[in-house]
Amino acid sequence: MYLVVDIGNTNIVFALLDKSLVEKKWRISTDIKRTSDEYFIWLSTIIKDVSNIKAVIIGSVVPEATEEIKKSCYNYLKKKVYVINEDIKINFPIKVENKKEVGTDRLVNSLAAWSLYKEATIIIDFGTATTFDVVDKSGAYVGGIICPGINLSLQTLHSAAARLPRIAVIKPKQVIGKSTVQAMSSGIYFGYIGLINHIINLTTLELKYKTKIILTGGLADLFSENLGINNVIRKNLTIEGLYLAYKQHKVNESDK
């Protein structure tokens, strides 16, 4: 059993993996002011038996939160804690101008996608930002596209326009909204459907070959059925990728 922690800009996911399968998963909001003691209390509440946990694997795009969580996991579990891209380097080919700019989450998503399908892939991650990451047919990360996240767009609409309410992301029954809320829902939902389809089409034209489409992140289910393009939902793709990076590291260590 392994505890895998995915620290994102909006949420932190804690997952228990057994033989590569996610057995349990918890999500809390990201707060850079939260201390290691607070994480300690929270972990001791959700994980009663720590004896079966072999190690902790952390992937993070929020450095301010990483050290507190690392300290808390080590103090509570008394196990080795590995931080991806600090203690473990991701073994995956990268073909971009500055490799250091590519976030851990985007690389481990690519690693997991290639490991699962061995196909050229566009990975769409519905997170704080909506990101598109491209793995070519040789199995290398070749870049991607970063768009404003869906909830971030809604928050900006609400904050910038005094008369626009805060709404949840839903699939509208029709395109033409009969009220302000319906019009906002339509704009967000069908607007992102159009954005996603257009970016996939442009990316495919640029690559000059078809790709597998993988959706991950909290809103993957909501957008999957209306894209009009065959796609696969992998809600645990980042968690799987972090675990794979760790397993590769252990194999490489044993070969030395």
Using one digit for the tens of pLDDT, what is the confidence trace for 117-142? Answer: 999 999 999 988 999 999 999 999 99
- Residue 62 lies inside a defined structural domain of this protein: yes
Residues 111 and 238 reside in one and the same domain = yes
Q: CA-CA distances (angstroms) from residue 58 to 108, 128, 181? A: 12, 19, 39
**73 and 120 co-located in one domain:** no
Residue in the structure block whose two tokens are 């194999």: 251
Look at strands 55-60 and 21-29 and give their pairing.
Answer: unpaired
Whether residue 94 is contained in a domain is answered as no
Quote the mean pLDDT of the chain. 92
Per-residue pLDDT at 255: 54
Low-confidence ranges of the chain (pLDDT < 50): 256
Could you identify the residue written with the tokens 């990076």? 245
The whole-number pLDDT of residue 240 equals 96
Query: How high is the pLDDT of residue 191?
Result: 94
**Residue 24: domain span:** 2-83
Q: 235 and 135 in one domain?
A: yes
On whether residue 256 sits in a domain, the answer given is no
Of 83, 118, 148, the domain-final residue = 83
With respect to residue 22, please indicate whether it lies within any of the assigned structural domains: yes
Question: Structure pTM?
Answer: 0.91
Residue 22 φ/ψ, nearest 5 degrees: -75, 115
> Which of 52, 83, 114 represents a domain boundary (last residue)?
83
Q: Report if residue 163 sits inside a domain.
A: yes
Asked if 103 and 78 sit in the same domain, the reply is: no
How many domains would you assign to the chain?
Answer: 2
Q: How far is CA 247 from CA 37, 109, 219, in A?
A: 29, 15, 28
Final residue before a domain boundary, out of 83, 110, 145: 83
237 in Cβ contact with 145 (< 8 Å): no
CATH classification of the domain holding 191? 3.30.420.40
Q: Do both 73 and 131 map to the same domain?
A: no
- pLDDT at position 104: 92
pLDDT of residue 158: 77
What's the helix, strand, coil split of the chain in %, to 5? 40, 25, 35
pLDDT at position 169, please?
87
Active site residues: 105
Q: Does a structural domain hold residue 88?
A: no
